[in-house]
Structure 1
Amino acid sequence: MYEERASRVLDAVVWTNTPPVGGAGRVLPDGCMDLLWHDGRLLVAGPDTRAYVTAGESSSWAGVRFSPGTAPAVLGVPAHELRDRRVDLADLWPAGDVRRLCGRIGAAADPVTALEDVALERAADAEPPDPLLRAVVTALDAGRPVAVTADELGLGARQLHRRCLSAFGYGPKTLARILRLQRALALARGGVGLADTAVRAGFADQAHLARDVKELAGLPLGELLGRRGG
C-alpha cells in the first residue's frame, strides 16, 4: 500500500510503500530524486529515464521525494551521476556518518519521521534552490518549447543543457517529455478521455501519447491505466 504526505522539507513529499508479496511495482519517471529507507539501509534513487520495475520486494519502503532539480544541492552530487541508478548513501557520503544515521533511524519510534528529519537537517545546510531551475520546470511543464524556454531565461542552448544535466539528470528535452507524461497520466486518471488527454498534455495526437507512454513507462497505455479504450 502506497501513501504520501507533504514534507517539512521544502517542495518534497514523504511516502511509504509496502508492496504485496510477490507483486511487481513500477516507478515511473517523474523528474524527481528520492532519499530511501529500506531494510535498515539508506539509499538514493536517481532520476529515471524509464520505468523502474521492482519485483518480489515485499518489505516496507519509505522515502523523501525531492521535487525536480532540488535534490543535488541536498545530497551533494550532480543528478546525472545517479541517472537510472539506486545507490547506497554510503557511496555518496562518509560511511561513518551514514552508519550513525542508519542507527538513529532504525532506533527511532517513527523511522519515517526520523528519515524526514535527516533530509530536513541536510536541506538546512544546503544552498537554497536555484530560482532558475524552478523557472525551467515551470516553463517546460506548461508545454513551452525548449528553445523558447532558453531564450526567455537568457540562456544559450548549451548552457541550459548543462544546467539541466546537473540539476535533473538529463537534458531539457528529456525533462519536457517526462513532465508531459506526468501531465497526461494525471488527466487520464482523472477521467479525461485519451484523445482529449493527448491534446491537453501537449501531444500531437493519441497515437503519439501511446508511443511515449510505452517507451517511458514500459507498458501500453490502457494497461498502465488499468482500463481500456479512450
Structure 2
Amino acid sequence: MDEIKLAYSVPTEDVAEFVTLFYHFHADLPVFEDTERADHAQIRFRLSARHAEYRMADGSVQDAAEVHVIGPTSGAWKVRAEGPVEVFGMGLTPAGWAAMIGDDASTMMNRAIDATVLFGAARLRDATAALRANPDPASRVAIGEALVRDLVKTGDAGARRFVRQVDGWLAASPSPEMDVLVDLAGLSRRQVERKCKALYGVPPKLLARKYRALRAANAMLATSEPLDDALERGFYDQSHMIREVKQFTGLTPGQIKDEATMLSRMTITQRSALGGLVSPLISGT
C-alpha cells in the first residue's frame, strides 16, 4: 500500500547506545488512524505539522506537539493524525533517556510532552527546518544523529552498566526471573525496581511481561510461529497469552496472524529484517 510508508535506519555506533532506530513515516491519507504497540520512549518530528493526538493505554487523550517526546508506554495506544502525515522519529534506549532527559521515566509513562520544554525551542526549530529541507533518509538520519550528540549530557556510567544488565536479563530468557536480575545487578530488590522504573518507566516484572508479549507477536507474524509454540514462551495458557499480547500490542494472537493492521505488520516485518544489525531486543520485537 503506497499510501503508507515506513522505513527504519540503524544509528551509527556512537549513537546506537542512545537510539534504538531512526524511522521515517509517511501516510498519504486524509486521516491516519492506527494502533501502536508498547515501546521505548520516542522523539518525534511532525514534519507535516497538522493536528495529531494519541489515546494512551491509561485512557488519556493527548495532543502531539510539532516536536514531542513520548515517554515509555505500558500498553498499546492509538494515534489519530490529519493527513497527509510525515514523521521523522527515533526510539530512545534507557541509556539515551538518562543521557538526554534524565528525569525518572516512570513520571513520564504514557505521556506526550512538547520537546521544546525539555530541549529548548531554538535547537529544535533548526533541526525541524533542516529535516524539512532534506527529504533524503540518509540526510535526515545525519541531522538526527547530530541532534542526539548535542543533546547527550555527561554519560552516567552507572546507568549504562545497569541498562546492559537489564537488557541481558531480558534477552536471556522469554520469561526471566526477578531474582536473577537482583543477583546480576548486585543490588537489593527495591534498588533494582527503583532503577528500572527510573530508566525503563516500569518495574522489572512488567518489563519482562512487555517483552515476552512483543517477542511472541513478532514470532507469530514475522516467522509464522504456531500459537502452540508461542505458548511455550512462558505463558500459563492460551487465555493468558491472549490477554498479554492484546495488552501490549492492541491485537489478539489471532488478529496478529490474520488481521494485523498495516502499521503493525510493517513495524514487525521491517524490524525483524534488521536481525544481526541491532540488538535482538529491537529486531525481535
| TM-score bracket, shorter-length normalisation | 0.7 to 0.9
Match of 1:53, SS state, is: strand
Does the alignment pair 1:144 with 2:152?
no
Q: CA deviation at 1:20?
A: 5.1
- Taking only the aligned residue pairs, the percentage that are identical comes to 23
**Stretches of structure 1 lacking an aligned partner (at least 5 in a row):** none
Does the alignment pair 1:86 with 2:120?
no
Within 5 Å, which residues of 2 pair with 1:19-98? 19=27, 21=29, 22-30=31-39, 32-39=40-47, 41-58=66-83, 59-98=85-124
Contact 2:77–2:250, Cα closer than 8 Å, also in 1: no
- In the aligned structure 1, how far is the partner of 2:96 from the partner of 2:178? 20
C-alpha distance after superposition, 1:3-47 (max 9, x if no partner) = 1021122142111111352342221113x1111111363211110
- In the aligned structure 1, how far is the partner of 2:150 from the partner of 2:41? 17
Contact 2:214–2:248, Cα closer than 8 Å, also in 1: no
Q: 146-155 or 100-109: which moved more?
A: 100-109
Does the alignment pair 1:184 with 2:216?
yes
Contact 1:74–1:122, Cα closer than 8 Å, also in 2: yes
Contact 2:9–2:22, Cα closer than 8 Å, also in 1: yes
TM-score (norm 2): 0.71
**Stretches of structure 2 lacking an aligned partner (at least 5 in a row):** 50-65, 261-285
Contact 2:46–2:86, Cα closer than 8 Å, also in 1: yes
Q: CA deviation at 1:168?
A: 0.4
Q: CA deviation at 1:158?
A: 0.8
Aligned to 1:198: 231
Contact 2:99–2:153, Cα closer than 8 Å, also in 1: no
- In the aligned structure 2, how far is the partner of 1:95 from the partner of 1:127? 25
Cα root mean square deviation, aligned: 2.4
TM-score (norm 1): 0.86
Contact 2:227–2:253, Cα closer than 8 Å, also in 1: no
- In the aligned structure 2, how far is the partner of 1:166 from the partner of 1:95? 26
Aligned to 1:6: 10
Contact 1:64–1:116, Cα closer than 8 Å, also in 2: no
